[in-house]
Amino acid sequence: MKNVEEAFRIKELLHQQSYLSKGILRKWEGPFTKVYSTIRTQNDQGEYGPTLLGSVPDMDGDSALEALDAACNAYDQGQGLWPTMRVEDRITCMEKFVTQMKTKREEVVKLLMWEIGKSLPDSEKEFDRTVAYIYDTIEDYKQLDRDSARFAKQDGVYAHIRRGPLGVVLCMGPYNYPLNETFALLIPALIMGNTVIFKPAKHGVLLLTPLLEAFRNSFPEGAVNVIFGRGRVVAAPIMATGRVDVLALIGNSKSAIALQDQHPNKNRLRLVMGLEAKNPAIVLPDADLDLAIDECISGTLSFNGQRCTALKVLYVHEDIVDEFNKRFSERVDSLKFGNPWEPGVMLTPLPEPEKPGYIRQLIDDAVDKGAKVINKRGGEVSENYIFPAVLYPVSKEARVYSEEQFGPVIPILPFKSIREPLDDMADSNYGQQVSLFGKNIKTLAPLIDTLVNLVCRVNLNSSCQRGPDVYPFTGRKDSAVGTLSVHDALRSFSIRTFVASKDNDYNRQILEELLDSKASNFVNTDYIL
Ligand code: G3H
């Protein structure tokens, strides 16, 4: 294992023997799937190859349905312990969870690096950002509860309005943010009183196993259930029962549609989704090129472009495109490739073994259709990587123009009139974000006014990103369903529900007694400080 620094060495394999269902870590008696890292190390025979990290249960449909039963029983049509629990008590459970989660930081960060190749600083950031997200969610939920701790009166009718849970949530996250994005669904779903079945993505699965005990220790039986296996085998039968009330998924629309199609009562199924995107950068002739290049480098190549918010196509005005291309290509070629724990690495091994081949196909196809690879190192292939190729000028017929590459390849298109990128964005299936680089407000103002209606976030002289997590994260067209942010997610996973009564002496006395007795968790005007 030479070159693997001692602190990050895999000292023993992690064989996850159990899954979480009905409040118990149940031993899985069936087959297991081996988990490999594409980071190559030497095996016992002295040969270099992908590194075995451990294994996870390869569960079947029946065991997945047991976990569904556990979630349904815990919800009990809204009558279960968890959905009827006082807000304060649900918050106590969540605080217990996050306290225990924090003790697993080192283990989770190490597995993030090995399983998905995320750099050490980014892996640490993913963990810390998720912990912060949980604390922010707790604070926002307290505020929501405070705002609801009162009666409204309109046209002689009193109303006590709150937000209530929706039911049973099937929660599935992506491999690129296996902790953060999954928890950005799971935590708000749970705290609002829903019960959850959570299935990790194909890559980035072992890193969740150190948290299973914290889930078991912190929440009532059946409130959180964690299963392992292939989506087709475990998630499809769960959906086919029609007992899932919310499908919460960050991933691609193909699997989202396939899962929705399984559900027999689509009108009952609520969706919270973050899907594909093809965020463009538009670089205007008066842009500050140093700044635009910096932002385009991080926008296109942070985590090797494996971010839904990554810049996936660059439109550069023809007056400056030669200068932009020259400087941008040099910068790309100067980026350091290495293992995730090496200081200063930006480019790291790709977790999907088939990804370098796919990116190679995109490059060859674009070149066939008239583009050139304009950086010296572009397309250099190794066992687990392909060096980012900067492609120019890319034809709209090329696959990389329309497919979400989700990897290290950067298509650049020149434009003369701003109508060209705007029309392309209008024609695109996606509508998440855009980055706009320029200075003159006479040009920027009308552009901003148009762009906000084509996407959901216009980043001015800044790369696209999801964070800070308190801001709304959503998209138009095929890019999202619903809105996620600390604040919005609490709303996406709940519904307004209220108690109303006509104002008369009889009802007023009952309401006063209800409030004085504190017998109801719902009709209650106590504040959580
Ligand atoms: O994969 C999409 C993520 O939501 C991107 O998040 O912009 O913070 O990297 P980020």
CA–CA separation, 458 and 109 (whole Å) = 32
* Structure tokens that stand for 380 in this block: 């250099």
* Structure tokens that stand for 406 in this block: 């989700």
Which residue's alpha carbon is at the smallest distance from atom 8 of ligand 1? 466
Chain centroid to CA 512: how far?
45
**CA 91 vs CA 95, 337, 373, 434, 436: distances in Å:** 6, 43, 53, 37, 41
Helix, strand, or coil (residue 485): coil
Of ligand 1's listed atoms, the one at least distance from the Cα of 465 is 7
Helix, strand, or coil (residue 38): strand
pLDDT at 6: 80
* Structure tokens that stand for 174 in this block: 């992506």
Of ligand 1's listed atoms, the one at least distance from the Cα of 464 is 7
Question: What is the whole-number distance in angstroms between the Cα of residue 373 and the centre of ligand 1?
Answer: 27
pLDDT mean values, one per 10 residues, the chain (529 residues): 72 96 98 97 89 97 98 98 96 98 97 98 98 98 96 97 98 97 98 98 96 98 98 97 98 94 96 98 98 98 98 98 98 98 97 98 98 98 97 98 98 98 98 98 98 98 97 97 97 98 97 96 89
Residue with tokens 């719902």: 522
CA–CA separation, 71 and 169 (whole Å) = 9
- pTM, entire model: 0.96
Peptide bond into 349 cis (omega under 30): no
Neighbours of 210 (CB within 10 A): 20
Q: Are strands 224-226 and 270-274 parallel, antiparallel or unpaired?
A: unpaired
- Cβ 366 vs Cβ 358: under 8 Å: no
- Cβ 485 vs Cβ 470: under 8 Å: yes
pLDDT at 5: 72
Angle in degrees, 0-180, between the axes of helices 231-240 and 61-75, rounded to the nearest 10: 40
Which residue's alpha carbon is at the smallest distance from atom 2 of ligand 1? 308
CA–CA separation, 460 and 444 (whole Å) = 9
Question: What is the whole-number distance in angstroms between the Cα of residue 466 and the centre of ligand 1?
Answer: 5
- Cβ 287 vs Cβ 279: under 8 Å: no
Using a 6 Å CB cutoff, which residues line ligand 1?
A: 176-177, 181, 307-309, 465-467
CA–CA separation, 496 and 498 (whole Å) = 7
Residues 6+ apart with CB under 8 A from 178: 112, 115, 116, 200, 201, 203, 204, 205, 207, 208
CA–CA separation, 119 and 391 (whole Å) = 25
Of ligand 1's listed atoms, the one at least distance from the Cα of 307 is 1
pLDDT at 1: 44
* Structure tokens that stand for 448 in this block: 């901003």
Question: What is the whole-number distance in angstroms between the Cα of residue 186 and the centre of ligand 1?
Answer: 16
Residue with tokens 């700044």: 291
Tell me which of 181, 405, 430 to substitute to probe ligand 1's pocket, judged by most ligand atoms within 8 Å of the beta carbon: 181
- Cβ 63 vs Cβ 227: under 8 Å: yes
Tell me which of 112, 116, 129, 177 to substitute to probe ligand 1's pocket, judged by most ligand atoms within 8 Å of the beta carbon: 177
Question: What is the whole-number distance in angstroms between the Cα of residue 464 and the centre of ligand 1?
Answer: 9
DSSP class of residue 503 equals: -
Which residue's alpha carbon is at the smallest distance from atom 4 of ligand 1? 466
CA–CA separation, 109 and 125 (whole Å) = 9
Question: What is the whole-number distance in angstroms between the Cα of residue 140 and the centre of ligand 1?
Answer: 21
Which residue's alpha carbon is at the smallest distance from atom 7 of ligand 1? 465
* Structure tokens that stand for 507 in this block: 């009802």
pLDDT at 4: 65
* Structure tokens that stand for 432 in this block: 């998440």
Residues 6+ apart with CB under 8 A from 468: none
* Structure tokens that stand for 493 in this block: 């996973």
Tell me which of 175, 304, 307 to substitute to probe ligand 1's pocket, judged by most ligand atoms within 8 Å of the beta carbon: 307
DSSP class of residue 373 equals: E
Tell me which of 129, 466, 469 to substitute to probe ligand 1's pocket, judged by most ligand atoms within 8 Å of the beta carbon: 466
Tell me which of 176, 182, 406, 471 to substitute to probe ligand 1's pocket, judged by most ligand atoms within 8 Å of the beta carbon: 176
**CA 100 vs CA 71, 86, 199, 204, 223: distances in Å:** 22, 22, 21, 20, 17
pLDDT at 327: 98
Question: What is the whole-number distance in angstroms between the Cα of residue 128 and the centre of ligand 1?
Answer: 15
